[in-house]
């Protein structure tokens, strides 16, 4: 998810299928225009966590919600009861219908959703922690992000595959240390659909 954000602060190399600066700029303009027209966004997702030494990966499913300008919610249906909620400056995490843990939007725990929200708003990343590379492969744009300064606080690499036509995210893979990876596959995107307002109320 962080990778999507970094797409708007691109550093492009001129090798392979990478986009030229002009193409990248054009793509960026398209993306911003599209995002700024958003009021809501909704999609289904499947989350797969793979770790070396784990017999089989851990798979979760759920629904992604965005409500302009500052609400992001990730609801898990499997396992049920888990969700992330970022509303304004508050960030909540609920696991297995347990007691919500709240954080500030500036806390480390909220970084992922904050970056995602920024992308949804069509804004660039002010901190510039990641270096991005955009390439085209068939009908997909591939945005690859690597940290400027490797840190245990940041993933080793994030790869995002975006539909070239709709500019909607289809898959995101986050590479973590020690061979761990997290993959998100998105489907059934809906723009500006009606969304239950109560989803963005504080738990």
Partner 1 sequence: MVFFRAPIYAAFLAVVIGSGLWAILTIRFGTEFLPILPASLPSVQGLTDFALGAAGKDEIYAVVDPMVQGTERQELLATARTALSAAPGVERVVAPGEIAENYAGALGAWILLNSPPEIFARATGAFSPDVMAKRLEEIPERLAGAIDPAQIVQMQFDPLGVLESLGGERGDQSAFGSMGMDAGFLIITPDHYLENTAQDTAMTEVLRSALDQAFSEHERGKVLLTGNPVFNAEISRQMQRDVGIMVGAALILLIASFYAFYRTWRPLGWILFFQILAMLCGIVAARILYGELNVISIGFASILLGVGMDYSVLVYHYYASSDRNNAAVWYTLRRGIWFSALVTASSFFMLGFSSFPALRQLAVLVGVGLLSTALMATWLLRAVLRDYPPRAPRVLSIASNGTASWVMRHKGLLTGIAVALAVTLILSRPWTYTKPLYSPSLEDMRPIGSMAFRAQEWLGQLDPSSGDAIYVLRGATHDAIRAAVVPLEQAVRPGQKGSAAWLVPSESNVAANLSSWSENTSARLQEAFERAGVGEDWSEITLQLARVLDATKRGDADAFSQVNSILRALAGSDERGKFAFLRVPHAANHPIPAGGLAGIAPDVEVYPVSWVSLTKELMELAQHDFEYLGIAMLIAIIVLCTVAQRSWRMVLLNLTALVLALCLFIGLLRIVGLSLTPLSLISIPLLVGLVIDYSLHILMTLEEQRGDLHKTYRYLAAPVVLTGLSGCIGFGVPALTGQPALTNFGLVMDIGIISAVVACLLFLPVLYLWGVGKDYRQRKFYRVLYRRRSFELILFGWRLLGKTGAWLISRTFGLGYALTHFATVRTVRRNMAMLDPQKATYAAACRLFINQGENFSSYGRLAREEPQAVLQMIGEARGFEYLERARKEGRGCVLVTGHLGFFELGGLVLAQMGFTMAALTLPEPGDGLTEWRADFRARWGVRTIVIGQETFAFLDAVRALQEGTLVASLADRPYDDNSVDIALPHGGMKFATGSVLLALLAGCPIIPVAILRDPHGTYRMDACDYIEPTWLPEGREETLRHYTEKIAASLVPIFIKWPEQWFQFSPVDAAPVVRGNKRV
Residues of this chain that bind partner 1 (CB under 8 A)? 47, 49, 51-56, 58-60, 74, 76, 78-79, 81-84, 93-96, 108-109, 112, 131, 148-153, 155, 174, 176-180, 182
Distance in Å, CB of 45 to partner 1, minimum? 12
| 69: preceding bond cis by omega (within 30 degrees) | yes
Q: Which residues of 39-50 are buried (b: 16+ CB within 10 A; e: fewer)?
A: ebbbbebebeeb
Q: Which is nearer to partner 1, 27 or 43 (CB)?
A: 43
Q: Which is nearer to partner 1, 65 or 84 (CB)?
A: 84
Q: Which is nearer to partner 1, 16 or 53 (CB)?
A: 53
Distance in Å, CB of 109 to partner 1, minimum? 6
- For residue 116, the surrounding DSSP H or E stretch is helix 111-120
Nearest to 71 by CA among 41, 93, 47, 48: 41
Residue 153, C-beta contacts closer than 8 angstroms, at least 6 positions apart: 108
Q: Which is nearer to partner 1, 52 or 138 (CB)?
A: 52
């Amino acid at each position: 998810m962080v990778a999507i954000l970094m797409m708007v602060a691109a550093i492009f190399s001129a090798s392979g299928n990478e986009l030229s600066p002009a193409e990248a700029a054009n793509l960026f303009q398209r993306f911003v225009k599209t995002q700024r027209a958003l009021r809501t966004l909704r999609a289904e997702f499947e989350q797969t966590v793979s770790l070396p030494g784990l017999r089989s990966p851990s798979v979760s499913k759920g629904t992604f919600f965005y409500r302009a300008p500052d609400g992001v919610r990730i609801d898990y249906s499997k396992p049920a009861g888990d969700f992330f909620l970022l509303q304004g400056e508050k960030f909540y995490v609920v696991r297995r219908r347990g007691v919500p843990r709240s954080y500030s939007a500036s806390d480390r725990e909220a970084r992922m959703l904050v970056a995602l929200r920024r992308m949804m708003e069509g804004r660039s990343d002010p901190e510039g922690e990641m270096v991005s590379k955009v390439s085209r492969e068939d009908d997909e744009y591939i945005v690859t992000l690597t940290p400027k300064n490797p840190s245990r606080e940041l993933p080793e690499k994030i790869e995002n595959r975006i539909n070239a036509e709709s500019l909607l995210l289809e898959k995101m893979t986050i590479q973590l240390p020690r061979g761990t990876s997290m993959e998100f596959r998105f489907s059934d995107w809906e723009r500006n659909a009606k969304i239950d307002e109560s989803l963005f109320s504080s738990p």
